[in-house]
Structure 1
């Protein structure tokens, strides 16, 4: 998952930084750091990915393009 995908998924799910952090079990600063391109431990990245997946987001990475899909509201 890229920082861009994280921002796209969070926006599509309607999650604030605080809500995303709570869903992932990490601090708000961790989410903000990752989404701005900063370093993140593999464990924290996994927690973010799991939270977004559990929220219904699906990451796409094909043909040199990345994206996100979410269920219809």
Structure 2
């Protein structure tokens, strides 16, 4: 997961930085550092990604047009 994907995922879910940090069990400063390009431990990035995926985000890898995210279809 890239920092831009984290920001896009939060926007798609309507989450504030504090919301994501709380769900991931980390400080808001950690999320801010990641989203502004600071390198974090891979385990921290993995935890952020897991929280976003659990909330319904699908990460789209670089495919010639750039990386992205989308929401899962509703599980009704």
When normalised by structure 1's length, the TM-score is 0.91
Unaligned runs of 5+ in 1: none
State the match for 2:50 in structure 1: 50
CA RMSD across the alignment: 1.4
Give the drift of 1:71: 3.8
Larger radius of gyration: 2
When normalised by structure 2's length, the TM-score is 0.88
Assess, with a 3 A threshold, how the Cα gap between structure 1 residues 68 and 27 changes in structure 2: closer, same or farther. Answer: same
Unaligned runs of 5+ in 2: none
Task: Count residues with an aligned counterpart.
Answer: 73
**1:69 match: secondary structure:** strand
Task: Kindly report structure 1 stretches of 4+ aligned residues shifted beyond 2 Å.
Answer: none
Whole-angstrom distance in 1 between the partners of 2:72 and 2:59: 12
**2:67 match: secondary structure:** strand
Give the drift of 1:46: 0.9
Whole-angstrom distance in 2 between the partners of 1:25 and 1:43: 13
State the match for 2:71 in structure 1: 70
Give the drift of 1:62: 3.7
